[in-house]
Amino acid sequence: MSDKPIPIDLAPFAGMLDGGREFLRAWAKQDGPTSYFVNPRALGPDPALFGMALVDAARQAAAAWGKALGRPGDDMLNRIWEGLDAERAAPTSDLPLPIAVARKDD
């Protein structure tokens, strides 16, 4: 695994992003912790919007895993829910510090 971040190529999806604002970046280390960078201002003042976005992301991820593994997306989504439930019941780590907040103009 490379030490350099490898960005996801979004160029083919530019039309889908028109007018959108990035609100989340996530990085995973192999056999290690994950890091998240969240810009709440991109979604608005109600944190419930982030929850709704996470559910949409889970559904999208399930479809991607299903396609990649040749398995039903519903099976993949059930595994994602299992992981979410397990992490909510017993978090594997404390929040990483520092927590950065986007600037007013972001």
Contact in structure between 28 and 34 (CB atoms under 8 Å): yes
The two tokens of residue 83 are 């992981």
User: Measured between alpha carbons, how far is 50 from 57 in angstroms, rounded to an integer?
Assistant: 10
Dihedrals φ, ψ of 94, to 5°?
Answer: -80, 165
Cβ atoms within 10 Å of 76's Cβ, excluding its own:
20
Stated pTM of the model: 0.78
pLDDT tens for 13-41 read 888 888 888 888 888 888 877 888 888 88
Question: pLDDT of 39-89, one tens digit each?
Answer: 888 899 999 999 999 999 999 999 999 999 999 999 999 999 999 999 999
Nearest to 62 by CA among 74, 48, 70: 74
